[in-house]
Amino acid sequence: MEKKTYPEYSIHYPLLLTTFMKRPARVYPNEIGVVYRNHITGKYYRFTWLEWYHRTCRLANLLQSLGIKPGKPGVLGDRVATLALNTHRHFELYFAVPCSGAVLHPINIRLAQDHIIYTINHAEDSVIFFDDTLLELVEGIYDKIKDTVKKFVYMSDNPGLPTTKIKNLYEYEVLLAKESDEFEWPHLHEDNYASLCYTTGTTGLPKGAMFTHRALYLQTLHLIAHASFINDPSYALLGENIVFLMITPLYHVHAWCAPFIYGFLAAKLVLPGTFTVEGFCELVQTEKVTDTAVVPTILALLVEYEELDQYNLSSLTYVRVGGGALPLGLKAKVEKKIPGFSATSGYGMTETAPTTVRSFVKKYMIDWPKERLDEVRVKTGLPIPGIEVEVVDENGKSVPHDNKTLGQIVIRGPWVIEKYFKNPEKTAEVWYDGWFHTGDVAKVDEDDFIIIADRMKDVIRSGSEMIPTVLLENLATMANFVLEAAIVGVPDEVWGEKPLALIKLIANSNKTEDDFIEFLKVEGVDKGKITKWMLPKLVAIVDEVPKTSVGKYNKREIRRNIRNYLDIAKSIT
Amino acid sequence: MEKKTYPEYSIHYPLLLTTFMKRPARVYPNEIGVVYRNHITGKYYRFTWLEWYHRTCRLANLLQSLGIKPGKPGVLGDRVATLALNTHRHFELYFAVPCSGAVLHPINIRLAQDHIIYTINHAEDSVIFFDDTLLELVEGIYDKIKDTVKKFVYMSDNPGLPTTKIKNLYEYEVLLAKESDEFEWPHLHEDNYASLCYTTGTTGLPKGAMFTHRALYLQTLHLIAHASFINDPSYALLGENIVFLMITPLYHVHAWCAPFIYGFLAAKLVLPGTFTVEGFCELVQTEKVTDTAVVPTILALLVEYEELDQYNLSSLTYVRVGGGALPLGLKAKVEKKIPGFSATSGYGMTETAPTTVRSFVKKYMIDWPKERLDEVRVKTGLPIPGIEVEVVDENGKSVPHDNKTLGQIVIRGPWVIEKYFKNPEKTAEVWYDGWFHTGDVAKVDEDDFIIIADRMKDVIRSGSEMIPTVLLENLATMANFVLEAAIVGVPDEVWGEKPLALIKLIANSNKTEDDFIEFLKVEGVDKGKITKWMLPKLVAIVDEVPKTSVGKYNKREIRRNIRNYLDIAKSIT
């Protein structure tokens, strides 16, 4: 019988990553689209968009040859895991796997080994594609995952397989060469699962966040559209002329959506393997990188790099900062070092794919003085249009916009996960009353900007006072002599808890613990940003603040070694 | 039982116009968002976004009071029709009706009266909201629609109801004043129908194109995102700083998506009632309009307006041209008159909501000379990312990209209608083989640009040659002495058909029919754009080329009066 209508080609046309993948090869087949630099050998590998597309087609055929099965709405396809850095091969996997109907599981290589093993077995990964540089890691976990993982694919710039105990090991480039460079991409349903990303599990086992094609498509599209909305010269457009250096690892929540955004845009993507300051500077100079996205700690590394001045970084005009609040002090330091550099901040989490909030200058602010605008730009921000973000009290009521009252950030929208993979208990902990509960504490100012204050579990309770540590940390790093600052609560007989500050000073600083507290008094207490009750009672000057695998302050680690820090801390009276 | 997951607030979060409507009042509650100027009295009416939102809430309450029922996926809600110009009230209806679950039917007031009556009865409109200026029209059709339409709402800047035979007549502002300015907007399904737009029916009865919230949301979002993609200085961003003059009537396919785009952006919207050259110039000057969208014939009116120089139009930087190809000659003329003006062209139809193709400069072209870039910008263009547009031969195979071979434009994507309202036969005529068939003929050039050549039914068949009339017309208006040119086929004993050109010269031109043909020879035949077989055999210089209700050349009308044109036409040998 002849078909009467085509909902799947009209109003139910599926929102698929396939649409993003196909575009560059159609629009700019002969332009260099993907550049990979091996961070060890320093060698460059360049691909036109058509070459990249053909390799991705080969990979899709290869997945079929390996027996990888597609899923359907509600049922995950086979899981294909990656243990890989930011290479062109990893980028190929980012499209070939989901667009052929399977589920991509990018493993966070910086998780504890036990957690890596846990996620592989929990995800039931069928195949793992891994980099040559991570061979040792795979060998180390092999015995505990070999019952789950049926096949291993070795990715390297050099031909040949290593001598190893790993069975069923294949060579990526050899397999690819055997396949056709055409592939009939399936017209999937948009509710097909595309990716499975595990949380870093700082408070327990990692949880698996599942994303559909629709969720990732809609996040990408809203982010690009939002870039057009805004009237803030420091807020970069997402346009095809960008040269984007992808620093954020592809194993961190889709590298903040970068493969999808820049793929769809057909903007040139520069892949550095892993971040090194030298590699960063060379690639910016060589490829004329215009945009990048980093965590604040990477900015701190750049500021400290002594040979920074020897590179021409003038093409770099825009840096997106995420994975932690951007301290204003750090921002100022980077702007001084890299002319033309500008940055805004944002907020999100694994469960939200990740971006949900971005800071930008509202149109009635545009004539404010630069200092005031900079303060706006480092606020956590406003919801991306298309997603709902509120800060609510314990009864689920929005807190007043008074720049003071704290509440929990709750979110809902098309790119928030519906549930964790095989974990209904954890799902029920976050999803109730029609909102996803982030566990993050924030306040809202008079202009409707959300300002993150803390993780709920990190808030210090001192007497009847709540001391929001992230708020304090951000204030602390506004001091031009402070590079990093982490605040944790330590037990106190009278108050229950009292705040301890760990601070890392800039090189060759002769500032003291008292100078630090004096700064907080003048810039914080006197200006009404904090109360005097919030001032740290202990300050320890340290060489390094411990960080998690994604570059955030590792407060669990700090608490574990709290004795050492208390030993060197100065008591403030 | 407690809910476990919330698909409707996560991965199935519905794509609703409600999201667009709510945003401006949240982001810019106190900024003037909507300006309406009554084109008869010249009086201005201004609303902040919060005021506009409150009026829209009142209207939603009013619709409930009138007994309007919402629909559900697959089942249309009650149809609410409008017979109205571009006023703030019409803009309020554009959101209050669909966002409360009913279906908006904006009636094209320029249709033949019989067709207006037909669409009202075919749509089974429950209520009609109409402007005071259109009272006579409503009275004229009243007897033939009163069995269908239960209620009439009279919209006017002045208080009081007119004396009329229309029963069940209510006063918009009086009803609005009675309602609450809060409304609990339903969390609809995205497949709820939002609008019903009828085609102009040049070849038969109008057909009803039905759009869901999802379709309109996705078109809007893709159009905004696309504006960010492009590296063409003449391609305007869709940003919040725009002041948009909405010339395209709201009764023409959602005014090309403008209410949704500029609503979501929270950009200032300027509503002129109806287009007048004086009103256009005054509003641009007074409101510092930056962007507008027009059909080519309106550009022609502006060029002819003698007092144009007396206005300050310097704020106007961008004009989107649609509803017909943009003749390069006309573009050049306007650019001369309005400094800073730039324009690109596009393509779409009622059934595609409408925009599917836009012209822009690809990144490897950016250094081409201006003349060559202008030629690119007036080409029909490239598909909006996210929609598939191909030009295919009779076997459904894509034509070669040789700038020569003609084929039919076929489309599929998330904002193409699935079917016509109550019209399976017409649906089957356009939807087959998995593509929507537009009935438009085009070629594709080496850069993958689609160049529209003709409507299939307008192509002239002369011997074994196909003569594409739109292609010829566009070439013709590149002559600086030609303002308008329409080509139709007339019977010929030898060739079957031969081309007749109707041309309108610029004011005070002394050019002749032979000059016209000479121009086509030099610019067309000699440069390989047309063959000599395509040259018109007859040329008639006319005062006016007949146009349809949407400003396109009315070839049906020309054929009806063909005798008169043949009488004045000069034969070319």
**Of the candidates A221, A363, A432, which has its C-beta nearest B225's C-beta?**
A221
Mean pLDDT computed over A336-353: 83
Three-state DSSP at A85 gives: coil
Per-residue confidence (pLDDT) for residue A202, from 0 to 100: 64
Chain A partners within 8 Å of B362 (Cβ): 27-28
Mean pLDDT computed over B128-133: 98
Look at residue A105 and tell me if it is in a domain.
yes
Q: Are A484 and A504 in contact (CB under 8 A)?
A: yes
- Domain final position from A392, A409, A441: A441
Three-state DSSP at B221 gives: helix
Q: Are residues B511 and B428 in the same domain?
A: no
Cβ distance B413 to A240 less than 8 Å, yes or no, reads no
Per-residue confidence (pLDDT) for residue B324, from 0 to 100: 66
The structural domain count of chain A equals: 2
Mean pLDDT computed over A121-144: 98
Mean pLDDT computed over A134-148: 97
Residues 397-426 of B with CB under 8 A from A: 412-419, 424
Per-residue confidence (pLDDT) for residue A467, from 0 to 100: 86
Pairwise pLDDT comparison (A454 vs B502), residue with the higher score: B502
Q: Are B181 and B323 in contact (CB under 8 A)?
A: no
Mean pLDDT computed over A386-394: 96
Q: Any chain B CB within 8 A of the CB of A437? A: no
Look at residue B3 and tell me if it is in a domain.
no
Q: What are the CA-CA distances from residue B402 to residues A541, B358, B405, B440, B451 (Å)? A: 70, 20, 7, 18, 11
Q: Are residues A53 and A193 in the same domain?
A: yes
- Domain final position from B410, B444, B478: B444
Distance from CA of A361 to the nearest CA of B (A): 11
- Binned at pLDDT 50, 70 and 90, residue A378 comes out as confident
Distance from CA of A437 to the nearest CA of B (A): 12
**Minimum Cα–Cα distance from A382: chain B residue:** B27
Cβ distance B10 to A424 less than 8 Å, yes or no, reads no
Q: Are residues A374 and A302 in the same domain?
A: yes
Per-residue confidence (pLDDT) for residue A244, from 0 to 100: 97
Instruction: Give the structural domain span for A80.
Output: 11-441
Tens digit of pLDDT for each residue in B169-191?
A: 999 999 999 999 999 999 999 99
Q: Are residues A47 and A110 in the same domain?
A: yes
Q: Any chain A CB within 8 A of the CB of B4? A: yes
Which CATH number belongs to the domain containing residue A516 in this structure? 3.30.300.30
Per-residue confidence (pLDDT) for residue B202, from 0 to 100: 64
- How many other CB atoms are there within 10 angstroms of residue B184's CB atom? 9
**Minimum Cα–Cα distance from A13: chain B residue:** B414
Per-residue confidence (pLDDT) for residue A325, from 0 to 100: 62
Mean pLDDT computed over A155-181: 98
**Of the candidates A28, A211, A414, which has its C-beta nearest B13's C-beta?**
A414
Q: Any chain B CB within 8 A of the CB of A505? A: no
Per-residue confidence (pLDDT) for residue B256, from 0 to 100: 92
Q: Are residues B495 and B376 in the same domain?
A: no
Amino acid identity for residue A332 in this structure: A
Per-residue confidence (pLDDT) for residue B263, from 0 to 100: 97
Chain A partners within 8 Å of B224 (Cβ): 225, 228-229
Q: Which two tokens stand for residue A298?
A: 């990477």
Tens digit of pLDDT for each residue in A83-96?
A: 999 999 999 999 99
Cβ contacts of residue B453 below 8 Å, gap of 6+?
Answer: B406, B441, B442, B443, B459, B468, B470, B471
- Say yes or no to pLDDT of A259 above 60: yes
Chain B partners within 8 Å of A27 (Cβ): 362, 382, 448
> CA nearest A257: which of A288, A230, A282, A223?
A223
Look at residue B453 and tell me if it is in a domain.
no
ipTM over 0.85: yes
Percentage, residues of chain A above pLDDT 70: 98
Percentage, residues of chain B above pLDDT 70: 98
> CA nearest A194: which of A18, A418, A11, A420?
A18
Look at residue B541 and tell me if it is in a domain.
yes
- Binned at pLDDT 50, 70 and 90, residue B551 comes out as confident
Integer Cα distance of A563 and A572 in angstroms:
18
Q: Are residues B534 and B433 in the same domain?
A: no
- CA A538 to the chain's CA centroid: 32
Mean pLDDT computed over A275-297: 93
- Domain final position from B399, B420, B444: B444
Chain A partners within 8 Å of B417 (Cβ): 10-11
Per DSSP, what are the bridge partners of residue A105? Answer: A81
Q: Are residues A359 and A467 in the same domain?
A: no
Q: Are residues A103 and A222 in the same domain?
A: yes
Percentage, residues of chain A above pLDDT 90: 72
Tens digit of pLDDT for each residue in B9-68?
A: 999 999 999 999 999 999 999 999 999 999 999 999 999 999 999 999 999 999 999 999
Mean pLDDT computed over A169-179: 98
Q: Any chain B CB within 8 A of the CB of A31? A: yes
> Could you give phi then psi for residue B562, rounded to 5 degrees?
-60, -30
Q: Are residues A147 and A81 in the same domain?
A: yes
- Binned at pLDDT 50, 70 and 90, residue B3 comes out as confident
Mean pLDDT computed over A123-129: 98
Tens digit of pLDDT for each residue in B182-237?
A: 999 999 999 999 999 999 866 679 999 999 999 999 999 999 999 888 877 767 77
Cβ distance B412 to A9 less than 8 Å, yes or no, reads yes
- Binned at pLDDT 50, 70 and 90, residue B154 comes out as very high
Judged by phi (left if over 0) then psi (alpha if -120 to 50, else beta), residue A184 lies in beta
Q: Are residues A316 and A196 in the same domain?
A: yes
Per-residue confidence (pLDDT) for residue B398, from 0 to 100: 97
- Helices A135-145/A113-123 angle, 10° precision: 60
Mean pLDDT computed over B474-480: 86
Look at residue B452 and tell me if it is in a domain.
no
Distance from CA of A388 to the nearest CA of B (A): 9
Per-residue confidence (pLDDT) for residue A10, from 0 to 100: 97
Q: Are residues B73 and B201 in the same domain?
A: yes
Residues 250-269 of B with CB under 8 A from A: 264-265
Look at residue A417 and tell me if it is in a domain.
yes
**Of the candidates B240, B413, B448, which has its C-beta nearest A13's C-beta?**
B413
Per-residue confidence (pLDDT) for residue B325, from 0 to 100: 62
> Could you give phi then psi for residue B81, rounded to 5 degrees?
-95, 155
Q: Are residues A464 and A427 in the same domain?
A: no
Integer Cα distance of A71 and A69 in angstroms:
7
Look at residue B280 and tell me if it is in a domain.
yes
Residues 53-112 of A with CB under 8 A from B: none
Per-residue confidence (pLDDT) for residue B391, from 0 to 100: 97
Q: Any chain B CB within 8 A of the CB of A447? A: no
Which CATH number belongs to the domain containing residue B367 in this structure? 3.40.50.12780
Look at residue A16 and tell me if it is in a domain.
yes
Lowest mean pLDDT among A18-22, A392-396, B120-124: A392-396
Cβ distance A227 to B222 less than 8 Å, yes or no, reads no
